[in-house]
């Protein structure tokens, strides 16, 4: 099975500033790469790990078996407030892990032939098969356009509807290709990449989970607590950037002059303005190429 190489591990840990006795959440456990680094820094503290994918949890249990102070939760990170009342830091490393991508049976990849699945949570009822074969043409076009930023969304949606039923990832790739003009097909990059991304986001409600999290993490984050998020495409990064800006809309230098009721409106400070991986990391891990990491720190509020 493909190994997952964690993205920007040192920067993530630096931004999270793990306190040995703190309570932390890794909302996207994957194979436990970042979680292991957090656990190494904990002494009396505790780490709660979430993943929608049961396989990821089982493998991480094995990878992290030397650590005691870790709790595994098979659920969406957007539900974290149901399990934990107060935390000192939360890490999200969004999207799909390499083992998910590279296992043909999971149906995430246009590179391998497999069933149209793409569910992170294999208990979920909606799969890529349902999206591809059951959605109205209009709705499909909207998803391809909004979540894949696919310029030929309408043409692709039309071809998909004409060619139903579509049963496998390779069949879908062929249908997508047949909808695209030669000029687009000759460009660098896989012609089905954006459509696959869009369908995956729809199947796993990825943007809804992120939005819900961004609106609710404040309820459980202690003062001095941090949230660090790694995103892999502009739709996710935009959501994080605007929410972080909204929560910290006062420049640090001005904060000292604010009246308490004004600080209340901007209870956070930005820890950075979106860092990218360096060339060396990108040359060792192609997933790092599109990654952006952002952090925010809570400076005002009541301790949860």
Ligand X SMILES: C[S@@+](CC[C@H](N)C(=O)[O-])C[C@H]1O[C@@H](n2cnc3c(N)ncnc32)[C@H](O)[C@@H]1O
Q: Does 77 bind ligand X (CB under 6 A)?
A: yes
220, 209, 227, 214: which is closest to 12 by C-alpha?
227
Residue 198 CB neighbour total at 10 angstroms: 24
Site for ligand X (CB under 6 A): which residue of 59, 88, 93, 150? 93
Q: Does 294 bind ligand X (CB under 6 A)?
A: no
Q: How far is the CB of 225 from ligand X (least distance, A)?
A: 19
Q: Does 295 bind ligand X (CB under 6 A)?
A: no
Binding mask 95-114 for ligand X (x = CB under 6 A): xxx-----------------
Site for ligand X (CB under 6 A): which residue of 50, 135, 147, 217? 50
Q: Does 64 bind ligand X (CB under 6 A)?
A: no
16, 22 in Cβ contact below 8 A? no
98, 115, 113: which is closest to 53 by C-alpha?
98
Residue 13 CB neighbour total at 10 angstroms: 18
Site for ligand X (CB under 6 A): which residue of 51, 88, 150, 281? 51
Structure tokens at 67: 């650590």
List alpha helices for 164-267, DSSP H.
169-179, 182-185, 193-203, 206-216, 234-247, 252-255, 260-263
Binding mask 114-153 for ligand X (x = CB under 6 A): ------x---------------------------------
Nearer to ligand X, 272 or 290 (CB): 290
Structure tokens at 49: 């790990």
Q: How far is the CB of 200 from ligand X (least distance, A)?
A: 10
Which of the 8 DSSP states describes residue 232? Answer: S
Structure tokens at 287: 């997933």
CA distances in angstroms from 224 to 16, 258, 303, listed in the order given: 11, 19, 9
Q: Does 16 bind ligand X (CB under 6 A)?
A: no
Q: Does 197 bind ligand X (CB under 6 A)?
A: no
Residue with tokens 């199947």: 203
Q: How far is the CB of 52 from ligand X (least distance, A)?
A: 4
Q: How far is the CB of 209 from ligand X (least distance, A)?
A: 4
Q: How far is the CB of 176 from ligand X (least distance, A)?
A: 24
Structure tokens at 251: 């420049």
Site for ligand X (CB under 6 A): which residue of 28, 194, 197, 248? 28
Q: Does 89 bind ligand X (CB under 6 A)?
A: no
Q: Does 195 bind ligand X (CB under 6 A)?
A: no
Nearer to ligand X, 38 or 176 (CB): 38
**Binding-site size, ligand X (CB under 6 A):** 22
Site for ligand X (CB under 6 A): which residue of 13, 56, 132, 271? 56
Q: How far apart are CA 159 and CA 144, in angstroms?
A: 13
CA distances in angstroms from 303 to 42, 255, 259, 296, listed in the order given: 21, 20, 20, 16
In terms of Cβ atoms closer than 10 Å to its own Cβ (0-12, 13-18, 19+), residue 70 is buried
Choose the stretch contacting ligand X; rule: CB under 6 A; options: 15-23, 89-97, 128-136, 157-165: 89-97
Q: Does 4 bind ligand X (CB under 6 A)?
A: yes
Task: List interacting residues with ligand X (CB under 6 A).
Answer: 4, 6, 28, 30-34, 50-53, 56, 76-78, 93, 95-97, 120, 209
């Amino acid at each position: 099975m493909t190994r997952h190489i964690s993205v920007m591990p040192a920067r993530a840990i630096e931004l999270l500033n793990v306190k040995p006795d703190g309570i932390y959440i890794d909302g996207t456990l994957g194979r436990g790469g970042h979680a292991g680094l957090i656990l190494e820094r904990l002494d009396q503290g505790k780490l709660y790990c979430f993943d929608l994918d049961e396989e990821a949890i089982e493998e991480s249990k094995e990878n992290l078996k030397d650590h005691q102070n870790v709790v595994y939760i098979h659920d969406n990170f957007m539900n974290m407030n149901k399990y934990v009342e107060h935390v000192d830091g939360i890490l999200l490393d969004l999207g799909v892990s390499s083992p998910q991508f590279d296992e043909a049976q999971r149906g995430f990849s246009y590179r391998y032939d497999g069933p149209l699945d793409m569910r992170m949570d294999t208990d979920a009822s909606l799969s890529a098969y349902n999206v591809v074969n059951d959605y109205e043409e209009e709705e499909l076009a909207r998803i391809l356009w909004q979540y894949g930023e696919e310029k030929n969304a309408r043409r692709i949606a039309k071809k998909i509807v004409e060619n139903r039923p579509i049963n496998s990832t390779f069949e879908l790739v062929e249908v997508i290709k047949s909808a695209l003009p030669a000029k687009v097909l000759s460009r660098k990059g896989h012609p089905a990449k954006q459509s696959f991304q869009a369908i995956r986001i729809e199947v796993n409600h990825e943007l809804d989970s992120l939005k819900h999290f961004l609106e609710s993490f404040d309820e459980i984050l202690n003062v001095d607590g941090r949230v660090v998020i790694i995103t892999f495409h502009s739709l996710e990064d935009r959501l994080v950037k605007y929410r972080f800006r909204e929560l910290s809309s006062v420049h640090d230098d001005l904060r000292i002059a604010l009246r308490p009721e004004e600080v209340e409106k901007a209870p956070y400070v930005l820890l950075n303005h979106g860092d990218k991986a360096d060339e060396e990391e990108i040359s060792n891990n192609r997933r790092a190429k599109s990654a952006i990491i952002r952090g925010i720190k809570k400076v005002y509020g009541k301790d949860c």
